[in-house]
Chains A and B, each alone.
Chain A
Amino acid sequence: DIKMTQSPSSLSASVGDRITITCRASQNIRTYLNWYQQKPGKAPKLLIYAASSLQTGVSSRFSGSGSGTDFTLTINSLQPEDFAHYFCQQSYSSPRSFGQGTKLEI
């Protein structure tokens, strides 16, 4: 099974900041990488698929990059609604594993 490791596990930032979250795969997953946002008590929301494709309706402040084993999620000009948990997920092979998550807090 492919193991996904996110860093950092938690991150403190301020409104208006630019932040980056990293996701590393235990083997080459090409660009089969998705990013999700989850707020407390809510379902995950798809942000990015195929490493860098922005899901319809998601703010352009979110962007993704990377290929192979190393990926990043960048959020520009943080807004109050961006403070949440973020998860990466590989869709290269089954089981489609998730990272352990990154908590973005004020």
Chain B
Amino acid sequence: EAQLLESGGGLVQPGGSLRLSCAASGFTFGSSDMCWVRQVAGKGLEWVATISGSRSTAYYADSVKGRFTISRDNSNNTLYLQLNSLRVEDTAVYFCAKDTSTFLNSNYYYYMDVWGKGTTVTVSS
């Protein structure tokens, strides 16, 4: 069974840094695209970043570009998110997810089919 487990969340002051980790098991991590999605308490979901499996190409939401860095260690089946220059508005539950593609009707469709339970980041003075 595919599983993801996040860790590393906590309380940090504005301007501070944090590194989140996501341990993967039960699927071929190295060839899987992975992403981070966050959710402010009681609100909707916001895609944060994606990293490709093979070439580790990274993509970011404008709201975090230049402050957050997504990376991966395929030898240890672990995904990371480095959060720098944190702001109060970065407070959220951060989920890691497996980003899967399916070829259907001559097109590739992308969706997040495995999710972790999330880790909470609180930015406050």
Contacts and interface: CB of A to CB of B under 8 A. Distances in A.
A50 B109 contact: yes
B111 A91 contact: yes
Interface in B98-124: 102, 104-105, 107, 109-113, 115-118
B102 A43 contact: no
B59 A94 contact: yes
Contacts of A49: 102, 109, 111, 113
30 contacts: A30-B107, A31-B105, A34-B112, A36-B112, A43-B95, A43-B116, A43-B118, A44-B37, A44-B45, A45-B115, A46-B111, A46-B112, A49-B113, A50-B102, A50-B111, A55-B113, A87-B45, A89-B45, A89-B111, A91-B109, A91-B111, A95-B47, A95-B61, A95-B62, A96-B110, A97-B47, A98-B44, A98-B45, A98-B46, A100-B44
Interface of B: 37, 43-47, 59, 61-62, 95, 102, 104-105, 107, 109-113, 115-118
